[in-house]
Amino acid sequence: MSNKLPDVEEILEGAVKKHGLAVVPLLQEIQEHFRYLPEEVLRKLSQKTGIPLIEIYHAATFYNSLYLTPRAKHQINICTGTTCHIRGSGKLIEEVFQVLGIGPGETTSDGNFTLETVNCLGCCAVAPAMVVDGKYYGNLTPGDVREILNKIMEKAAVEE
């Protein structure tokens, strides 16, 4: 994603052509561009499609994967389900705090990382597990978490 703000009309036009009036895919497409669902974009979506704004907000607030507030560039989800908890997911959360200074539900001050905990990632066989930017990691130790985060930060530094 570039630093240039995407053209809202262009995004909406493309999303409607691609998804028709299917609200959730439209919202997912918008969120992909902005990292969240800005109110002004949702209002324009309602005007463009004729979908009542209340229906758009209903979908946006129903699904945990849709966000009405800005999200960081990198999303970290650590499983705290029973198996992951027993196998040490709490230590993974502590390691994220040590490396990034954030706890669950928090975002780094530079807007690069958000940490969330989830009840289940569906991969108990490789517990404890986490997902970073859609990539699954399993059988993790705190050292693994530190290494993964450091690689992401190094890559980001090179891209700047």
Q: Are 141 and 103 in contact (CB under 8 A)?
A: no
Full-prediction pTM beyond 0.75? no
pLDDT tens for the chain, 160 residues long, are: 444 445 778 887 877 788 677 888 889 889 988 889 999 999 999 998 999 999 999 999 988 778 898 889 999 999 999 999 999 999 999 999 999 999 998 999 999 999 999 999 999 999 999 999 989 999 999 999 999 999 999 998 888 7
What 8-state DSSP symbol labels residue 104? T
The answer to whether the beta carbons of residues 148 and 107 sit under 8 Å apart is no
How far is residue 95's CA from residue 102's CA, in Å, rounded to a whole number? 10
Q: Which SS3 state, helix, strand or coil, does residue 81 take? A: coil
Secondary structure of 51-76 as H, E, C letters: CCHHHHHHHHHHCCCCCCCCCCCEEE
Domains of the chain: 8-62 (no CATH), 74-159 (3.40.30.10)
Q: With beta carbons less than 8 A apart as the criterion, state whether 117 and 93 touch.
A: yes
